[in-house]
Amino acid sequence: MGKFKKIETSIDGVYVIEPTVFGDNRGYFMETYSKTEFEEIGLNYNFVQDNQSKSKKGVLRGLHFQKENTQAKLVRVIKGEVFDVAVDLRPGSKTYGKWEGVILTEENKKMFMIPKGFAHGFLVLSDEAEFTYKCDDVYNGNAEGGLAWNDPDVGIEWPMGDLKPEDLITSEKDAKWPTLKELKEEEIWK
């Protein structure tokens, strides 16, 4: 049996990954990535960059994508809790404009595998969260794009809990991304 379980979602190519966790009275140990083990479950990626962020409750980052140097991402939380979202922007996809979301926590240790062609973002649900992810291409700030986190046509069901929309903390840039309808009018992928 492998060290990673790949769980299908409602969108082809997007998976929740559950690692095998070995725990005892000292704590736990787990592998967070193994190229060989991932290939055995059909995930063939060549990750070239690791990123990490720390955010407080109510921070909403995203929804981001790159028009060039498109990136597949393997994301996870190492502290706290987030609701992580991927929106399908692949041309011709039968699930174009659909979203998939998963709660990632330091306790559940789940990971979210997001292929190229998706907008990605997350909402911090705990007092603070540390979020880390692997990318299979480098960041290209000149090719940055985004999708409005609150686009009614996409209809992401953010688990707000005691947060109100006006309590959310976004960057100035993230507050101004276009809707899916507006994106259709321009070329998303160069």
The catalytic site residues sit at 64, 133
First to last CA, the chain: 41
SS3 138: coil
Backbone angles phi, psi at 178, to 5 degrees: -75, 165
Distance CA(3)–CA(163), nearest Å, equals 36
**Could you tell me which residues come within 8 angstroms of residue 117 by beta carbon, excluding any fewer than 6 positions away?**
65, 70, 88, 89, 90, 91, 93, 189
